[in-house]
């Protein structure tokens, strides 16, 4: 109520008498188009009731209704920042009901959409990724972008069972494509989990000691869309390969839930890396089992082009 009290002091300042100040204030309030419309629609408001509720009418009139008096949500002039008054009359009493202004509604909608995109150790710049920012005519990226968009469009009907395995050199846009997809899917209220693989490996190892590993694995299993970014950048121990990655992929394969990957390695190269253990041993069978799951939940697409990080 502080803005209203300050306004009243302003009205009174410099006036010869309180009565003159009130009359001036009353005239200006009642000449307002919004107030006049309110009074016309509510003839039960007698002159006496109007005079008794001048402050309420002023509170209603001076505030911004469609953000027209505010340059931003942070500089909102209203009594409750981000909320606009709606005047109602009940039994001769004026009541102001507050609801979100257009900017506040947009902020809430954006926050709701962002809640559908969760990331684990992903760079901050992906938060603003969008299809509109991707250069569609660049050679070497067209096929990947086309298939990412196809996945997005198919989500209008039902969630596709396969994601994509995007592989190629550094900086060609693999991660950005999938971050853009995640942000666009949020408008359809499709939840996406993006995971940066090297940090994911370290976090899972650390989770053993605090007994949260099963809870985290279950969370990644059940996300509508799962993205593993930069798989192959970190050595995957046999334990992580079989008990963590294998468990997640097995569940998603059985439940027909899509998984997206980005990697600097094609599938053959990744299989060779997954077959290795820290002791120099090779376990081709278990690596092949993981690769089969990857193929069941994703489709390989090569991404080429210039390095956009330079």
Segment 268-273 mean pLDDT: 92
Mean pLDDT over the full length of the chain: 83
What secondary structure does DSSP assign to 6-27, as a single string?
HHHHHHHTT-S-HHHHHHHHHH
115-303 fold? Rossmann fold (3.40.50)
More confident residue, 35 or 209: 35
* pLDDT level of residue 107 (50, 70, 90 thresholds): low
148-201 tens-digit pLDDT: 999 999 998 889 999 999 999 887 889 999 999 988 888 888 888 888 888 888
pLDDT of residue 30: 87
Q: What is the pLDDT of residue 11?
A: 54
Evaluate if residue 9 carries a pLDDT over 90.
Answer: no
Distance of alpha carbon 255 from alpha carbon 219, whole angstroms: 14
Q: 151 or 126: whose pLDDT is higher?
A: 151
Has this prediction a pTM greater than 0.85? no
What kind and span of H or E run contains 261?
Answer: strand 259-263
Which two structure tokens, joined as six digits, stand for 259?
A: 């998984």
Residue 8 has pLDDT above 70, yes or no: no
Q: How high is the pLDDT of residue 133?
A: 80
Complete DSSP assignment for 130-175 = -GGGS-TT-TTTHHHHHHHHHHHHHTTTS--S-EEEEEESTTSSHH
Q: Is the pLDDT of residue 74 over 70?
A: yes
Over the range 200-238, which residues count as b (16 or more CB within 10 Å of their CB) and which as e? bbebbeebeeeeebeeebeebbebbbbbbbbbbebebeb
Return the domain boundaries, the chain.
2-104, 115-303
In degrees, rounded to 5, the angle at the alpha carbon of residue 183 between the alpha carbons of residues 134 and 214 is: 130
Strand partners, 164: 299
**What is the number of other CB atoms lying within 10 angstroms of the CB of residue 44?**
9
Q: Which residues contact 178 (CB under 8 A, 6 or more apart)?
A: 148, 164, 166, 194, 227, 229, 260, 262
Q: Is 194 helix (H, G, I), strand (E, B) or coil?
A: strand
> How sure is the predictor about 206, in pLDDT bands with cuts at 50, 70 and 90?
confident
Distances from the Cα of 91 to the Cα of 2, 39, 43, angstroms: 28, 14, 11
> b/e per residue, 47-62, with b = 16+ CB within 10 A?
eeebeebbbbbbbbbb
Q: For residues 45 and 89, what is the distance between their CA atoms, to the nearest angstrom?
A: 8
Burial of residue 282 (CB within 10 Å: 0-12, 13-18, 19+) is exposed
pLDDT in the model for residue 245: 92
pLDDT score of 203 more than 60:
yes
- Residues facing residue 302 across a β-bridge: 167
| Residue of 258, 295, 117, 111 whose CA lies nearest to 194 | 117
What pLDDT is attached to residue 111?
A: 58
Of the pLDDT bands very low, low, confident and very high (cuts 50, 70, 90), residue 282 is: confident
Q: How far is CA 34 from CA 11, 30, 39, 203, in A?
A: 20, 9, 9, 58
């Amino acid at each position: 109520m502080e803005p209203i009290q300050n306004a009243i002091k302003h009205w009174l300042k410099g006036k010869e008498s309180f009565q003159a100040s009130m009359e001036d204030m009353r005239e200006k309030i009642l000449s307002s188009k919004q107030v006049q419309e309110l009074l016309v629609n509510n003839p039960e408001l007698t002159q006496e009731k109007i005079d008794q509720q001048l402050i309420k009418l002023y509170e209603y009139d001076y505030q911004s209704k469609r953000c027209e008096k505010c340059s931003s949500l942070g500089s909102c002039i209203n009594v409750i920042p981000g909320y606009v008054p709606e005047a109602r009359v009940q039994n001769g009493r004026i009541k102001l009901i507050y609801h979100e202004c257009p900017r506040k509604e947009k902020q809430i909608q954006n926050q709701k959409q962002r809640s559908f995109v969760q990331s684990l150790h992903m760079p901050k710049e992906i938060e603003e990724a969008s299809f509109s920012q991707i250069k569609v005519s660049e050679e070497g990226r067209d096929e990947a972008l086309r298939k990412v968009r196809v996945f997005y469009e198919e989500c209008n009907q039902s969630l596709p069972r396969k994601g994509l395995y995007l592989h190629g050199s550094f900086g060609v846009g693999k991660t950005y494509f999938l971050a853009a997809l995640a942000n666009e899917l949020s408008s359809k209220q499709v939840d996406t989990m993006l995971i940066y693989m090297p940090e994911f490996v370290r976090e899972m190892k650390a989770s053993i000691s605090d007994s949260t590993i099963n809870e985290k694995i279950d969370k990644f299993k059940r996300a509508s869309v799962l993205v593993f970014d930069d798989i192959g950048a970190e050595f995957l121990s046999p334990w992580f390969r079989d008990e963590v990655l294998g468990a997640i992929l097995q569940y998603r394969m059985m439940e027909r839930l899509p998984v997206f990957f980005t990697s600097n390695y094609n599938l053959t190269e990744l299989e060779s890396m997954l077959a290795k253990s820290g002791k120099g041993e090779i376990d081709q069978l278990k690596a092949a089992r993981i690769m089969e799951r990857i193929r069941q939940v994703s489709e390989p697409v090569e991404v080429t082009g210039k390095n956009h990080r330079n």
